[in-house]
Homo-oligomer: A and B are copies of this chain.
Amino acid sequence: MAGRSQRKTADPVTSPPLADFKVGVDNVIFSVDTAQNRLLVLLVMRQEDPFLGHWSFPGTLVQQGESLEDAAYRILSEKIRVRNLYLEQLYTFGGPDRDPREAADSYGVRYLSVSYFALVRFAEAELIADGVSGIAWYPVDQVPQLAFDHNRILEYGHRRLRNKLEYSPVAFEVLPELFTLSDLYQLYTTVLGDGFSDYSNFRSRLLKLGFLEDTGIKVSRGAGRPASLYRFDAEAFAPFKDKPLVFI
């Protein structure tokens, strides 16, 4: 109640009082486990109030001189070691009353969250469990009640994943370097539902485009004929950039 926020009623001519913000960055990090065929998100257990002991997305407050993206990379690299990373801004949540600290803080400081959307390869991602802090991959359909408005952020992230999967080759950012065509097909079906072409047509259209390189390596997973491992060829994909993905 003290300090600058009291200027609100001081003078009716001057503009109404501005809000003061702290800005946080939260990362929605997706991956897929091709062995179990599950879509995963990374959650961490909060170590501090508010929401101590609740699961949440890895986040941090932005420091002086630090850009939003820098903050996103910083918190990400504290939680996970990866070789490859896809990262883009997701959405900004900034309504009043989205953070309990606002009520507690006598200055009336607001807390705004700029969320980021990230994709990593499951096998290449090494989680950093520092002591007591919990960190774990959760199947997206089994995510518990999260801290803050993070369940809503997850909805945004999930929708973005669906859209990006349809319109750009991000599938190859979450799949392992080498993958079978079944892996790819199952990723699409689990995320997008099975409203598109059957496996056979999916295969033939995809291979005709010519940006998947057959390594010749065969892998056998349970029953059935062994599958070839494929590799995504980014150069060969270039002509299809900015065009709709025709194989789904």
Q: Which residues of A contact B (CB under 8 A)?
A: 5, 8, 16-23, 61-69, 89, 91-92, 94-96, 108, 110, 112, 114, 167, 244
Contacts and interface: CB of A to CB of B under 8 A. Distances in A.
The 7 nearest A-B residue pairs measured at CB: A21-B21, A67-B95, A68-B94, A92-B92, A19-B64, A18-B61, A16-B63
Contacts of A66: 19, 96
A21 B63 CA distance: 11
A67 B96 contact: yes
Given A8-B64, A64-B5, A94-B67, A112 B23 contact: yes
Number of copies: 2
Contacts of A167: 167
Contact of A20 (B8, B16, B22, B89): B22
Contacts of A69: 95
